[in-house]
Amino acid sequence: MLIYLNGKLVPKEEAKVSVFDHGFLYGDGVFEGIRIYNGRIFKLKEHIERLYASAHAIDLKPPLTQEELLQATVETVRANNLRDGYIRIVISRGEGDLGLDPKKCPNPTVVIIADKIAIYPEEVYKKGMKIITVSTRRNSPQALNPNIKSLNYLNNILAKIEANRANVPEAIMLSIEGYVAEATGDNIFIVKNKTLITPPLHLGVLPGITRQTVIELAKERGIITEEKPFTLYDVYTADECFLTGTAAEIVPVVEVDGREINGGVPGEITLLLMKDFHEYVKKEGVEVYKD
């Protein structure tokens, strides 16, 4: 495997970052996860735009232009001969000293990893998953804006630990106010009376690329779509529920906190959107291997 590290493609064993890098010391940096489908990088431009928006929000100036990073990403995928897989782009503050001051980090670190990925077994997509609600609340937007996809994911990791202890693959996180926000690594949708509902961004929700794609696909099908706050009661009594994410794609949820949803099987709208999404990714994206 070859890793892009600060302008060079190096073997995995040689891809090393300083222990004084502020991404390692403080989680000071940003990242994106991106999928590759049949030789196409899905929504690459949108992911890079979000990455640079996150970097700008934390006053981090990437050493590459967006177009240069796009080309570096394509070259990394091509060098690893991947047609289906996952990309992780990381831009950290770079090497500094043991203090917090970002001004002591003059050269940001850029890493691009392209590899295979499988988040959930195929059975989960066919039969749906059972999840719980955790006690760890989503970070307040007033403290750390969720639009910033930063390297500090401890909030999500603490929630994931709770899910692991309950022996479930995912978990719902509530906002500080008690509304449903998102899962540990995915956005959440419910269906009620044939209306598709997802939490609004201001509750502390990452503006997921897959989330937005699902909203657009639903509208193309004429499905009424709303972004509005809802509670666990709304989840428990929903007709359908599913999660969305770059790595996870669309995952049906059939039980939450012991309450069955749709009789314990994936719902009709969920299955339609899964089908539409799989068709959509076949034709959308930046081509890696051109004739």
CB 95 within 8 A of CB 105: yes
Cα–Cα distance between 43 and 214 in angstroms, integer?
A: 13
Strand pairing partners for 2?
11
The HSE-up count of residue 39 (CA atoms within 13 Å, CB side) is 6
CA distances from 25 to 61, 193, 198 (A): 19, 48, 35
CB 133 within 8 A of CB 127: no
Residue 264, sorted as left (phi over 0), alpha (psi -120 to 50) or beta, turns out to be left
DSSP H/E element including 286? strand 286-287
Q: Which residue is catalytic, options 149, 160, 192, 282? A: 149
Strand pairing partners for 95?
21
CB 39 within 8 A of CB 287: yes
**127: annotated active-site residue:** no
Closest among 12, 3, 249, 284 to 125, alpha carbons compared: 249
Cα–Cα distance between 63 and 94 in angstroms, integer?
A: 11
- Catalytically active residues are 149
